[in-house]
Structure 1
């Protein structure tokens, strides 16, 4: 080999070394090694899972439905069964009892579980605002001017202990009343809500869209509290308030991190899809039975709470503290000083999901 040829070889080797170094640096910035990049993805620990939810047709859980309908769970190698219950508290019971691996429900469930000595963790966010509406039925509208006037009345919620019940308790506390000043009636979260409001079973109702928009548009309720917007949420709760999340026992998360990551990936994709979805996209994707036989009404309900969906699956800054303050205001067993707030949620999985699906 001549001196010139040797020099060319050294230059070529140097160039390839530089390229490899740059690639390795880029992968390191993403939290990956060159070896990890080259290796095939590791198998999921538990590819077949069951998710419990309370009131899946509601817009509160729309990202879950989108992830299911668009095949995002399947894309991640998951075989998902979704069990639907009357309310979030019933879904939580399924997770606690072991018939479901994880739940989709209000973030406050993780706080309640910790107050009982159990560590549950939210790992990806569906809703950045509660989307809950409290309204008085038409027959009582004349005598109820504000939440304070609900004293002694029957209030319908999806299920006692669910997020719809929480809104009632927070609203009553702000108005100077006690939770015991009203009677709580479980009315589900689907067509049964409309039947209860129109049939005289309750004097007021706390629930989610599209049912609340249906009742509002038909004149069957007068809205007293509306947390479908960020402004309405801050007015009621005093700060950012996370809503629906995916949560699981911390022990499940620790044993099945790749499975949990796969779920987070699917939900983050769904969250981002909703940010750019058109009316036509929505109608084509949502199951026909969820549209209440009125596509225009469903789209109006979606418009009413569009800003309440999480844009990226991340827990909003200050959100957990707001939720703890709200829950502690009417739940004596939840003592803020005894809650390890940083153990009730993590952004680790949503952060990685956003890297993969920017």
Structure 2
């Protein structure tokens, strides 16, 4: 049993215990719905719910920031155990958590990969690493285990002809994203998985080049989704609908406004929330990479990872169904309701 699987099973047990203890959430027909949503943010970045709140899309819903995270799996585990009300992660991580028994459901896509926003796996100029087989015995720096970066890397290795036994010899090293470039340049790791502003800053400094990118393997796709618990959705249907609608409209706002407008708005939001952050990083923003309009989730964006996890032996065939994983029912772009 892998470390990731053990952790997810522990989370599933905690979820079951928490469910037995009740919840502070409201319930349809049995009292007012919850309108304050707890969440984790990201240092020097603006999430779509934060943008939606700033644009006035959330209406009577308020957000309560409880801290920051750099790990998608940790973010959705916090939702599953009741520490937060919503969180987001790589779709493969959502599948594993649902497969472990957590009663969560994805309601909207929030990040992805395209020509402007992607995960790149970088090596130092002059490195002897030229292809998949050269990674055997090497160290690859990733932000967390069991998520997007690991999945894309293992797919690259599989397509490169490596056997499962050879893939096991490729070492994944967890490194905080802000330290990954430095770890590569100092020789502590052989490959650095970089994205967004950290990738762009590293490329500006030179001396590194890409080995491969996730878009080379999968094309443009939404990679991660935001989840709520099934209990929350059932007890707070109006809040869920308003939250997803506002989220979807915020995604669309970034697509229908210029890059300069988006960056300016993000900097204003960061300045107003007073978290002692450096807002210069958002100046590198290019796109969210979300593929579906308004964050609509496509079946293949989960089926791809169901198939991959079955090949990896992380889940059994039939253990998780698409209908267990996500819904577009609350997204107005699914019915043409958002203009």
TM-score of the two chains, using structure 2 as the length reference = 0.76
Provide closer, same or farther for how the CA distance between residues 101 and 186 of structure 1 changes in structure 2, counting only shifts above 3 A.
Answer: same
Alignment correspondent of 1:255: 235
Provide closer, same or farther for how the CA distance between residues 265 and 165 of structure 1 changes in structure 2, counting only shifts above 3 A.
Answer: same
Q: Does 1:264 align with 2:244?
A: yes
Q: CA deviation at 1:294?
A: 8.3
Q: CA deviation at 1:344?
A: 0.3
Structure 2 spans left out of the alignment, 5+ residues: 1-30, 271-276
Q: CA deviation at 1:150?
A: 1.4
Q: Does 1:166 align with 2:151?
A: yes
Q: How far, CA to CA, are the matches of 2:119 and 2:265 in structure 1?
A: 25
Q: How far, CA to CA, are the matches of 2:320 and 2:230 in structure 1?
A: 15
Instruction: Provide, for residues 181-232 of structure 1, a one-character-per-residue CA deviation record: whole Å limited to 9, x for no partner.
Output: 222222223x2233323333211122321211222332243212223xxxx2
Superposition pairs of residues 70-85 of structure 1, within 5 angstroms:
70-73=55-58, 75-81=59-65, 83-85=67-69
Q: Does 1:286 align with 2:277?
A: no
Q: How far, CA to CA, are the matches of 1:224 and 1:107 in structure 2?
A: 24
Instruction: Provide, for residues 247-268 of structure 1, a one-character-per-residue CA deviation record: whole Å limited to 9, x for no partner.
Output: 1222222222222212201211
Q: How far, CA to CA, are the matches of 1:98 and 1:318 in structure 2?
A: 29
Alignment correspondent of 1:211: 198
Instruction: Provide, for residues 129-179 of structure 1, a one-character-per-residue CA deviation record: whole Å limited to 9, x for no partner.
Output: 47442323315x531112331111111111122322222222222223344
Provide closer, same or farther for how the CA distance between residues 76 and 198 of structure 1 changes in structure 2, counting only shifts above 3 A.
Answer: farther
Q: Does 1:175 align with 2:163?
A: no
Q: CA deviation at 1:306?
A: 5.8
Provide closer, same or farther for how the CA distance between residues 164 and 274 of structure 1 changes in structure 2, counting only shifts above 3 A.
Answer: same
Which structure has the greater CA radius of gyration?
1
Q: How far, CA to CA, are the matches of 1:326 and 1:290 in structure 2?
A: 38
Q: 2:35 aligns with which of 40, 43, 47?
A: 47
**Is the Cα–Cα contact under 8 Å of residues 110 and 288 in structure 2 kept in the other structure?**
no
Provide closer, same or farther for how the CA distance between residues 224 and 336 of structure 1 changes in structure 2, counting only shifts above 3 A.
Answer: farther
Tell me the matched-pair count: 297
Q: How far, CA to CA, are the matches of 1:223 and 1:104 in structure 2?
A: 27
Q: 1:329 aligns with which of 292, 295, 311?
A: 311
Q: 2:326 aligns with which of 345, 348, 352?
A: 345
Structure number with the higher helix fraction is: 1
Q: Does 1:184 align with 2:165?
A: no
Q: How far, CA to CA, are the matches of 1:171 and 1:76 in structure 2?
A: 45
Q: Does 1:144 align with 2:132?
A: no
Q: CA deviation at 1:292?
A: 4.1
TM-score of the two chains, using structure 1 as the length reference = 0.72
Alignment correspondent of 1:357: 338
Alignment correspondent of 1:155: 140
Aligned-residue Cα RMSD (Å) equals 3.0
Q: Which moved more, 1:130-139 or 1:110-119?
A: 130-139
Q: How far, CA to CA, are the matches of 1:294 and 1:83 in structure 2?
A: 19
**Is the Cα–Cα contact under 8 Å of residues 112 and 288 in structure 2 kept in the other structure?**
no
Q: How far, CA to CA, are the matches of 1:336 and 1:143 in structure 2?
A: 39
Alignment correspondent of 1:104: 88
